[in-house]
Structure 1
Amino acid sequence: MFPKTKIQLCIIHQIRTSIRYVPEKDKKSVIADLKPVYKAVNHEKAYEKLLEFDDKWGKKYHLAMKTWMDNWVNLSTFFEFTAEIRKVIYTTNAIEGMHRQIRKITAAAAAKTTGAFTYK
């Protein structure tokens, strides 16, 4: 329907997904080593940093690395935008917050409508 739509996955959610496969003792180091990937200046540098991350952690935490490689196309859309825009789209929390508010309102409206048809 919208062929020019660009998909960008949330970096924060990607980090959370990948560290599920990492024991507690290495989580801080793994997260620190991921930072250069999503803080890179462009797509090429980011991919270089991702490969460096893979060299360091890939064998030990294959599944953590696999989540990044499997999602890379939709994670790297991020680098098509300027640094200012990236700060905004780096996480989907603002969008999720708006959706949460809409669900809250529609759930309350649905409850009122359903209650009108109950018998006492």
Structure 2
Amino acid sequence: AEEITAWQNRPVDDVYPIMYVDAIRIRVKDRGVVTMKAAHLVVGVDVEGRKHVLGVWIADAEGAKFWLSVLTQLRNRGLRDVLIACCDGLTGLPEAITSVFPDTVVQTCVVHVVRNAMRFVSYGDRKKVAAAMRAIYTAPSVEAAETALGDLEKEYGRQYPGAVDVWKRAWAEFIPFLDYPPELRKVVYTTNLIESINFQLRKITKTRGHFPSDEAAMKLLYLGIRNISTKRGGENGTGTQGWNQALNAMVILFPGRLPLH
């Protein structure tokens, strides 16, 4: 428990070019009743392109107040700036990020948008609809993406209005992505980096059925993260593919905000 407390309160870097936020669902016994809770992971990618799990927070419910507390903790641990925050549909998170880090671009995870939209599409049409969606997120500009979204709606809107609606609701937090050059798009395209960690954590949590307390869940999650880091040759050894090109793009897009000493 002391080790976890020290880990959750350790100092972090003052700037992370990219930060990913995602959640896994766990069952925890609370006041005699087994309830579903979310374990939120925050992963920072440092200037060298190395990934670090900055912390895990278990919550009954998301919301701006909860996220404000998480981000304030990170700021108190030394974080003063994040260039791009990648997340997906977490209630209150974009507002909290804007409040604590006003210059941060909040970017929705494109793969999550595609996946959520595909839930409304029948198996036989998936290839065609996926191709139509690809035209949206590979568009060279916002105008071209809007045209591609219009084409998607024209072609499939009557049959799959739910799929089109997913894109429309995500639009404001999707379009920052279109300002990035291809090198940076590849890096921020998805929260797959954090999902690979989540996949391994799900494997060890789902065999447990439910946890007797938040503390018990936290212990297993922490040991899982420590184990993943060790397998990968230490947390500092997990680099990001294509990072140098992405970093060069960020120097131009976010002038004066990267510590390049």
TM bucket (normalised to shorter chain) is: 0.7 to 0.9
Please identify which structure carries the higher helix content.
Answer: 1
CA RMSD of aligned residues (A): 2.3
Summarize the Cα distance change of 1:6–1:100 in structure 2 as closer, same or farther, 3 Å threshold. farther
Q: Provide the aligned length of Structure 1 versus Structure 2.
A: 109
Listed one character per residue, the Cα deviations across residues 57-93 of structure 1 (whole Å, up to 9, x for unaligned) are: 1111101100000111111110121121001111111
Given the alignment of the two structures, is residue 80 of structure 1 paired with residue 179 of structure 2, yes or no?
yes
More strand by share: 2
Relative to the length of structure 1, the TM-score reads 0.79
Q: Does 1:11 align with 2:114?
A: no
Instruction: Assess, with a 3 A threshold, how the Cα gap between structure 1 residues 99 and 20 changes in structure 2: closer, same or farther.
Output: closer
Q: Aligned with 2:166: secondary structure?
A: helix
- 1:52-67 matched pairs, under 5 angstroms: 52-67=151-166
Residue aligning to 1:68: 167
Which one of the candidate residues 199, 218, 222 is aligned to 1:106? 222
Q: Relative contact order (alpha carbons < 8 A, sep ≥ 6): 1 or 2 greater?
A: 1
Aligned residues with identical type, % of pairs: 32
Shift of 1:101: 7.5
Q: Which stretches in structure 2 are left out of the alignment for 5+ residues?
A: 1-99, 202-217, 226-261
Letter matched to residue 181 of structure 2: T
Q: Distance in 2 between matches of 1:100 and 1:81?
A: 28
Q: Which amino acid in structure 2 is aligned with residue 106 of structure 1? A: Y
**Following the alignment from structure 2 to structure 1, what is the Cα–Cα distance between the partners of residues 128 and 200?**
35
Scaled by the length of structure 2, what TM-score is found?
Answer: 0.38
Structure 1 residue 36 corresponds to structure 2 residue 135: yes
Give unpaired runs (5+ residues) of structure 1.
110-120
Aligned counterpart, 2:16: none
Q: Which residue of 1 aligns with 2:146?
A: 47
CA distance in 2, matches of 1:90, 1:71: 14
2:191 counterpart (92, 96, 101): 92
The one-letter amino acid of 2:143's match is E
Distance 1:53 1:106, change over 3 A: same
Describe the shift of the 1:17–1:59 C-alpha distance in structure 2 as closer, same or farther (beyond 3 A). same
Moved over 3 A (4+): 95-105
